[in-house]
Amino acid sequence: MNEQVLISIISALSGVLIAYIVNVSSKKVQLKRAKGKPVDRMEQMFDGYERLIKQKDKEDERKARIIDDLEAELTATKEVVRSLEKALEDSKIELAKSRAESEQLRQLLESMREEYLGSKS
């Protein structure tokens, strides 16, 4: 399995687990508040927004890590592509030289054959 996929799966599971823990903890805090004194609705709203912001920050951090990993993978892939392109270009040059040498050898052989056949006559 690709390392990026494993990181994504682990991150997703961690996010779900953290969201569950935060949800359970907030319910416990709300129960304690309700037992001790009347709960102010505005205070509840502020707490809810604060939790949402924290969850969003954690999700943003996870996304930033994934982006960094993807950028590193992309950079490595680009380097491999550059290396392959260089190897391909070198191979093309070598092939062209080899074909030119083969053509020279054919011409030399042909001229030697003609010279031999011409001297035989």
Alpha carbons 19 and 57: distance in angstroms, whole number = 12
Q: For residue range 13-42, what is the model confidence (pLDDT) as tens digits?
A: 788 878 888 888 877 777 666 665 556 788
Most distant CA pair in the chain: distance in Å? 125
14 to 8, 28, 80, 91, 120: CA distances (angstroms): 10, 21, 33, 49, 90
Alpha carbons 78 and 91: distance in angstroms, whole number = 20
Stated pTM of the model? 0.48
Kindly list the averaged pLDDT for each block of 10 residues, start to end, along the chain of length 121: 77 82 79 63 86 94 94 94 96 97 96 88 65
